[in-house]
Amino acid sequence: MEDIKQNQKENETQVPPKTYPKFSFEEDLKRQNIHTMLEIYGEEYMEKIESLTR
């Protein structure tokens, strides 16, 4: 019985995990958030960002 379980485990196809760039999702989300803030607040938001990044 244990031999059958062992053989099944060995014969099961292992699906490799999908690999995505680590920061891709985070960077895309940041860009989307910035774009949304620009749509909502426009130039006022840009002025605030400029003052914060100085």
Within a domain: 46: yes
Within a domain: 7: no
pLDDT of residue 53: 87
pLDDT in tens, 5-49: 666 666 666 666 666 566 688 889 999 998 998 899 888 888 888
Task: Say how many domains are in the chain.
Answer: 1
pLDDT of residue 3: 64
Q: Which residues of 13-45 are buried (b: 16+ CB within 10 A; e: fewer)?
A: eeeeeeeeeeeeeeeeeeeeeeeeeeeeeeeee
Give the tokens for residue 21: 């760039």
18-to-22, 28, 50 alpha-carbon distances in Å: 12, 18, 38
**Contact indicator for 45, 37 with CB cutoff of 8 Å:** yes
Within a domain: 42: yes
Within a domain: 41: yes
pLDDT of residue 18: 66
Structural domain containing residue 34: 19-54
Within a domain: 54: yes
Within a domain: 38: yes
